[in-house]
Structure 1
Amino acid sequence: MTFPQEYIDFMVHFHGNRDYFECHEILEDYWKEVDSRNKDSVWVGLIQLAVANYHHRRGNFNGALRTLKKAFQIISSNEVLIQQLGLDSNLLLTQIRARVADIEKRHEYQSMNLPIQSNQLLEQCKKRSQELQMAWLLESDLTNNQIVHRHKERDRTNVIEERNQAKQKKTNRRQ
């Protein structure tokens, strides 16, 4: 099976440099292309899993817990698709339950490895990590503020412009 390139890139960032923000960006764009109206899409569940790790690593336990519980709901309702994506769905759900318990107890963040059961997926991920000159299965570098606090580093000009345009359209409709 050939996996979507965006999924491979998500996996490489998730297990390589642990850039969960980039994981979110990659899969969100893909989700919008293939399943944008489905808030219960397997892609949304994986995005939320990355976002929960991002929040947990930054010490935002409330955000991590809320997001991880949403990810659990979506992933548990998409177990067949998770399996088709080369992951062990039972083990993944067990990992998420354990992570929820850790977050509830305010345990410090630990890097998470997704339970890859497909040798083909594993090989594609390793090959892509070499292409990107990124190590595979690194522990998260908690001193790398460019990754740990990436949302503070990004240019939000486009987001702000889009919000302002949406507000203006709403105002115009009311008038």
Structure 2
Amino acid sequence: MLIVPKFCERLYLDSDGRHHLDRMPDLVYVDHGDGTATLAPSNPDSIYVDHHDGTVTDLRTGLMWKACAEGLNGATCENGSAEHLAWIDALEKAKASNFANYTDWRLPSVDELRSLIEQCRGSPTINTHRFPNTAGSLFWSVSPFPGVAEVAWAVSFGSEEDHGRHRDAPLAVRLVRGGQ
């Protein structure tokens, strides 16, 4: 029997409680050898290199991320308080950052931000070993919302969903470098 987290039941179970494995093409299962299986992490610790300077590199994408959301610091992001900024302020914050002696920090695209999502884990939907103390809230992306100039895409680490948000809205920020 596959044990599906409550958070994902709406996606992967039919009305009779039967699993639809065809709806889970990107997920990997861990067989426990006792007739049960659970979903394996989609972003396990092993895909990240921790540089021990507050940054981690995703080996699949080559992107280097700040481990802490803006406003937080410390080995487990325990110090400070997460900043919630308007989109233009988030862009400026990225431009001005020289964190870990790098000066090319930027806001991630919506796809880059989504690459951090831990599928079917509940809030926060991110690897909390590599990105500790991440709120299950919306984070800004640099990606514009099609057809609406004053809206940009944001990604929720509470619901695994993308949302268009007015650029004046105060949202959390996580910076990235590399790629593009």
Is this a same-fold pair by TM over 0.5? no
If the length of structure 1 is used for normalisation, what is the TM-score? 0.24
Structure with more strand by fraction = 2
If the length of structure 2 is used for normalisation, what is the TM-score? 0.23
Structure with more helix by fraction = 1
